[in-house]
Amino acid sequence: MVHEENNVDKEQPYAQLIYRALMGAPGHTMVLRDIYNWFRRNTDKATDKETKGWQNSIRHNLSMNGAFEKVDQPAGEEAKKGFMWRL
């Protein structure tokens, strides 16, 4: 279960918000879909339903920031196509 935050600063950079999301996740690891869901619940970055710019910003920050590591999902019944992100 991912930890919810009620006091997220609206002006924090995406990289800091992603860091906070991953810190609250078991093993500091999340799939991209779960990171999006964390942003929806804990920030106002995802309030504009007409644009997906916030999702592009998340993907950009994940791929360009060395603090975030892309790893294969563990094998098993629940494993789906894609990767997990961790600190």
pLDDT in tens, 1-17: 455 555 566 689 999 99
**pLDDT at residue 51 in the model:** 78
Residue 40 inside a domain? The answer is yes
pTM, two decimal places: 0.82
Higher pLDDT, 5 or 55: 55
Residue 60 inside a domain? The answer is yes
Q: How do residues 23-54 score in pLDDT, each as one tens digit? A: 999 999 999 999 999 999 999 888 776 778 99
Residue with tokens 């592009």: 56
User: Structural domain of residue 32, as residue ranges?
Assistant: 14-86
Residue 68 inside a domain? The answer is yes
Per residue in 62-85, is it b (16+ CB within 10 Å) or e — as a string?
beeeeebeeeeeeeeeeeeeeebb
C-alpha 83/C-alpha 65 separation (Å) is 16
Q: How does residue 67 score in pLDDT terms, banded at 50, 70 and 90?
A: very high
